[in-house]
Each structure stands twice: as structure tokens, then as C-alpha cells.
Structure 1
Amino acid sequence: MFNLWSVHRCHWEFVNNLKKASPKKAKKQPEFTNVDVFKEIPIQQEDGGIYSLQFSFDAKSLAAGYKHGGIQLFSAETGGLLRDLRDSRLGREAVMCLRFHPDHEETFLATTADGMVLSCDTEEGVVLEVIKEPTNAINIMDFCLDGQTFATGGSDLAVRLYDSRTMQLLYTYGGENSNHREEGCMNRIYALKFSPENNDIFITGGWDDSLKIFDKRSKQGVRRSIPGPHICGDALDLKKGQILTGSWVSESSLQIWNYSEGTVEVDVPFPNENGEYLYCAQFCDNNVVLAGGSGTNNVQAIHYPTGKLVGKVQMEKPVHCIDSIHGGRMFAVGSCQNVIKLAKMS
């Protein structure tokens, strides 16, 4: 069915950059000072808004998942439609998460709010259901460092670990009917991220107002908890011993945590008089983070050591999702508004 599945985007970009690097000392990258929207991609009213986005690893294409179950592929350079992979229909559930295969750029996975994992072949235009979790809305998924396994999380409070080659279920941590429920996730899971440095460690976040740190070598799973973040979207990222969280709260929504200590290192300013309420957040290069949500209806690029705003992309309606490539130098924004905005940061 499949061979080896994905590892983290940051890990693969790091490896590829090492291969291309000159033996000479690398020059310091210039700081980001500006954000420009270079393309707006309209989508149809019947799609219902954008719920997930993912760039291919070569940054040539962008996959989009919609509220009513549709999946499309666009050129990241021109915004032109490349493939209609799955139609939007009334009664179909939202496409919540997309992940490209790093070695086979023509293939990516999509998860849905009615418990499916779909394999999407962008060259053949074929979409296949490869996993069904009948009691779950799969809000999020991610792959471990070596790509041998991946995990899903969603509405039934369980974290499921799968073999990436066979798509067979390996283990289920917690869940509504688990004997160890009190030791796992206590409410809906909306974010899940494997460590880019450790093959066995991953973190979840959601409505239980805490981060759960898992070790997949353990049958119990959860090794420790960090109380605090109330996460309602793909608003969790890891980088060099730091955890980035975006919470759906009125203030102090954007935070960087020390992984080892479990304490807040930086409260990144995201001011808004009507509340902040974030749905998505990602680390970028040059000590910049991207974040967006329903408080400001925009995505902001913020230099977190100083709190300085590098730039923003304004939408008319709440921002549901973002994705970035090349350390944030290109990123995409999706919302309830029927348009995808492509931006560059320089």
C-alpha cells in the first residue's frame, strides 16, 4: 500500500539544506521586516470555508481542505487550480488536517471530522480511504521523526498510534472509555506534534487546558503534563527545546514554553481590544512566529524577543489555518472567508 511515511517538515528541510550547504561558513540570514500578500485564490461558496492548508515540500503546490469535505490542489506560484481531488458536498464533514509525504511529493494524507484518513495522489487524482475511526472526529495527526509511525487525535479523547507502512493500529492511548482516562487527554484534542529531536516523544493540546507529553515507548503514554493552554486548532509547534502554543483565550494567547521546565518563557504580544482567540500558530526563522484566529481575523508575524510586529495578513472572517514553508518566507492563510491568501515574508 505504502512504503515509508512522513517525518517532520522541519527535519527534512534541515537534512536537505545540509546536503546543499557550502563547506564555507553560512552567512547570517537577514531579519524579517515585511509581509506582502502576493496572491489571492478564490474558492467556491459551496466549499464552506478553508479548514486546513499544507504546502508541498518543494513549495510548488498548496493543498486546501474545506468545511464541506472538498480537497483541492493549487499552484503556489500562480494560484491556479491544479487538481480537484474531492468534491465539497452538503453532509460531508470538514477536512481538518493535511500532511504531504516528504519523499513522494505527489501524495499527502487528509483527516476528516467523520473519522477518516484519506490518501491523496495528486498526479493520478485518486483519493482513497485508508483508515476509519468510526467514533472519532480526527482533528489532527503527525508523524514521528523516523516516519515509521504516526498519531491521530480528536473528539473521542484517544490518541491512536499507527504503523505508517501498513496503516495498522499499533496502540490506543486513553479515550472516553479507557481505564486510564484520567491519565490521558480529558477533552477534545486539536493539536498534536512529534518532537523534531526525539523519535518517541510527542505533545498534544486541546480543550483540557493542558499540554500532554507522550512517550510512545510507554503503554501508558503520558509522561507529564503542563497546565495552561486552551487550544482549539493546529496551534502547537516545537523548536529547539521550546514549545509554541496559541490558545483560544482573550489575552496571553500566544506563548513560548520551556520544554524541560514546563514554564512560560515568553508571552508574545497579540493585542486586540475584543480579545485574541487564536486557532493556529507556527514557528518561523529569525525568531518570528505566525499566529491567527477569530479575535483579530488576521495572521500576524511577530518577532518574539522584542514583540515587534513584522507584518500581518488581514481577512474579513476568522482565520482557521495557516501553513508556511522555507522558514516562513512563504505562507498561506485560510479562513471562513472564501479566499486563500498567499504571502511572502522578507
Structure 2
Amino acid sequence: MTTQTRTTERRGSISQASSEISLNRPRRQSKVVDTRPKHLTLGDFELTNVVDCEEYVLCCKYSPNGEVFAVGLGNGMIKVYSKKGEFQYVLTDADTKTRRYPVTWLRFYANKDDSKSDQNKMLAATYTAGYVKIWHWPTQQCVYTFQEQERQPLALDFNCNFQHLFVAGSDCAINCYDFQTKKLIRKLSASESRERMDGHKNRIHAIRSHPVMDTVFLTGGWDETIHYWDERAAQSQKHFAGPHLCGDALDIIADHQVILTGSWRKSSTLQIWDFTSGELIKDAFEKNATSMLYCTKFCPKEYILCAGNEKNEAIVYDYSILQMIGGITDLEHAVYCADNDPSSTKPNMIVGSGKNIFIVNDRSRIR
């Protein structure tokens, strides 16, 4: 989602607490303003902390072990916090200080088979200023910058073996990099044919690698199509139409062989598709969606996390019956991002709204 879209997007608002009149002093009014962020928790979920990030939160991501989470901000900074929300590091360099453009996407390097433990402390980020940065977050050092100044990189993902990095952007194309050599392997995009739909025709806002197929990944964006790519081919292999993606709202679960999409619109927001055929399996909110979605993902495979605006919320659903189990709603600002803690068997989550990160945990004894 572009900076302009985020800026002009209508955000929900909740009025400040009204003035209270002291009964003991009827001629004097004592104005008490509640400055705490407004919210309503649902189900057995509990708000455990609110982190003030000081700038607008555009993306957030837990580390693979759930010990820390990173937050990408509108001024080009990345902040890293402990699991409980304690500030740890800030990631910034001369580029980000000079061009204070938004961070649009975050992914931690998480190769369990990599013997270089230090490499598992890497974090990849896209910036609308026209570059992708790889950070060693414990030392706050940028170890490499991929220059993409001819476009705005908007989303990225590692393939399942973490050897390649796929970067999608405003030019409707995907750059495939070798993560070890930092060389561009191939640029994937639609052909010039008007008869074939073999790539995107508008900005790409979501990308997701297949969990076990190391050359396969999916993309989606503003042109309301989901494309299947194999990095060995220049054009997409097939596609299906429907979802309108504006953020991290595309996921795959290999166990069920399904695709999950979240659309930024007033109907048919959460949809589940068959991975092999691309056929629609379930249109969960065809007519009664409560929010226009910026973020959708499995958390873990038994649950679905949906976050967006209108009601400014992050809600968790049971995947098998698509019934809400809880979450947080009625926040003061739109929810542009959310993520679940991968170290937990419960759908504990972080939720980005305005300049805050809300840490919301599932306190149910059943799950």
C-alpha cells in the first residue's frame, strides 16, 4: 500500500472522554481527558501492553523464535522490541536518515539448517525510497543494500530454503536475488502480449513463497489477480481473479493445500482458495464483512488472523468453522499490520495501529 493511499485512507476515530463535572463543586468543571488508546478486547484475549513507537506503524513482524519483534515506521526507521514490548534497537543509517521514506515490508531470515548462527539474526526490509536493506539487528548494522531506485519495492519474501530473495514492487515486476552472492538472478514480469494474462498489470502489494516448493511463490495486488510464479520462468504460470490486496494479506498453508487472501473492500474480504486449481473454496464474508482487510494470515494453521480498518480491528477466527474466537477492535486508528507469535501454540499477536503496537495475548485455557 502506497504512502498516498495510507495518508488519504479514512481512519476510524473514537471521541475523547467527555468532561466530568464534580458533584461536590457544582460551579467548577474539572475536565479529565483520557489519553489512553481506546480499544475493546473480544473473547479470551487480553491487551498486555501498548508500545508507543513515536511514528506511524506500517509493518510489523515477529522473529522466528518469537523473542523479539520488528516494526517498520513511516519515517524510514525500524525499531526492534522484546517480546514484552521493551525497546531494544533502532535500525537506521545514512540512507534512511537522508531519505525518510516509509518501510513497507519486513522479513526475518529463518533458515533452521544454516550453521551460521549470526546469519539467523538478519532482517530484510523494503523502503519506498527505492532500496532493500539487510540488517544484522543485534549490532544495528546494515550489511547490504539492494538498489532498486527505478521503482518502489513494496513487498519481499525468502524462498523456503532461504537461498533466494523475491522482491515485488510498483513496476508490477518481481526481482529474484541470490541471497548469498547478492546477485540479481532474474526479473519476472508480464509479457507484452495483450492476449495473455501472464503477470501483473498494476502494483504488487503482497508476496508469499510456497512453504515447501523452493522455486514457487504467489503475488497479489491492485489488479485483483493472484499469480503463480516459478522463478525459473520469466512470466507467471497461471492466475486466478478476485482478491484486491493492499498489504500483507496473502498466505499459503501446505497442510491444507489452500491459499488465504484478504481484500481491502467492503465485501468478500476473507477468501480461501484451492492451491492446485485456484478455485474458490470459501467466501467467508461475502456480504457481512466488518473490516476492509490490510492483513490476513494463518496463526498458526488452526487459526486465521484478519486485520484492517472500518472497525479498526485484528480478529482471530477458527479455521475449521470460520468462527471468531477473539481479538481487539474499536481502535482509534486503522490497523495496517499484524503478526502472530510463531513460538506460541496460541494466536498471540502484535497489532499496528496509528503510532502504537498493541500486544494482545490469548488467555484461554482450552486452546
Sort the TM-score into its range (normalised by shorter chain).
0.7 to 0.9
> Within 2, Cα distance between the matches of 1:328 and 1:169?
39
Q: Is the 8 A contact 1:266 1:304 kept in 2?
A: no
> Within 1, Cα distance between the matches of 2:246 and 2:79?
24
Deviations 1:123-160 (A, max 9, x none): 21212452011121111101112221111111111111
The answer as to 2:89 corresponding to 1:83 is yes
> Within 1, Cα distance between the matches of 2:139 and 2:302?
39
**Alignment correspondent of 1:318:** 334
1:252 alignment partner AA: S
Q: Is the 8 A contact 1:69 1:93 kept in 2?
A: yes
**Alignment correspondent of 1:338:** 355
2:227 pairs with 205, 208, 212, which one?
A: 212
Q: Is the 8 A contact 1:246 1:291 kept in 2?
A: yes
Where 1:123 maps in the other structure, the secondary structure is coil
> Within 1, Cα distance between the matches of 2:241 and 2:301?
28
1:18-97 pair list within 5 angstroms: 34-44=44-54, 47=55, 49-77=56-84, 79-86=85-92, 92-97=100-105
Taking a change above 3 Å as real, the CA distance of residues 344 and 187 of structure 1, as seen in their structure-2 partners, is: same
Aligned length: 306
The answer as to 2:182 corresponding to 1:167 is yes
Task: Give the alignment's TM-score, normalised by structure 1.
Answer: 0.82
2:207 pairs with 182, 192, 195, which one?
A: 192
Deviations 1:32-53 (A, max 9, x none): x732221111121xx2x11111
Q: Is the 8 A contact 2:293 2:306 kept in 1?
A: yes
Deviation of the 1:91 alpha carbon: 5.1
**Alignment correspondent of 1:301:** 316
Where 2:260 maps in the other structure, the secondary structure is strand
CA RMSD of aligned residues (A): 2.3
**Alignment correspondent of 1:17:** none
Deviation of the 1:165 alpha carbon: 0.4
1:236 alignment partner AA: L
5+ residue gaps, structure 1 = 1-32
> Within 2, Cα distance between the matches of 1:68 and 1:271?
37
Where 2:237 maps in the other structure, the secondary structure is strand
Taking a change above 3 Å as real, the CA distance of residues 306 and 81 of structure 1, as seen in their structure-2 partners, is: same
Deviations 1:273-315 (A, max 9, x none): 7x63110011123632001112221001011332321112122
Q: Is the 8 A contact 2:207 2:218 kept in 1?
A: yes
Deviation of the 1:90 alpha carbon: 8.8
Q: Is the 8 A contact 2:206 2:249 kept in 1?
A: yes
Q: Is the 8 A contact 1:206 1:232 kept in 2?
A: yes
1:152-301 pair list within 5 angstroms: 152-174=167-189, 179=192, 183-218=198-233, 220-240=234-254, 241-269=257-285, 276-285=291-300, 287-301=302-316
5+ residue gaps, structure 2 = 1-42, 112-118
Taking a change above 3 Å as real, the CA distance of residues 117 and 91 of structure 1, as seen in their structure-2 partners, is: closer
Which moves more between the two structures, 98-107 or 292-301? 98-107
The answer as to 2:135 corresponding to 1:120 is yes
2:108 pairs with 89, 100, 111, which one?
A: 100
Taking a change above 3 Å as real, the CA distance of residues 141 and 36 of structure 1, as seen in their structure-2 partners, is: same
> Within 2, Cα distance between the matches of 1:227 and 1:287?
26
Task: Give the alignment's TM-score, normalised by structure 2.
Answer: 0.78
Which structure: larger Rg?
2
Q: Percent identity?
A: 29
Q: Is the 8 A contact 2:188 2:231 kept in 1?
A: no
> Within 2, Cα distance between the matches of 1:42 and 1:271?
35
> Within 2, Cα distance between the matches of 1:270 and 1:114?
37
Deviations 1:167-192 (A, max 9, x none): 111111126xx646852111000001
Deviation of the 1:272 alpha carbon: 6.0
Q: Is the 8 A contact 1:100 1:108 kept in 2?
A: yes
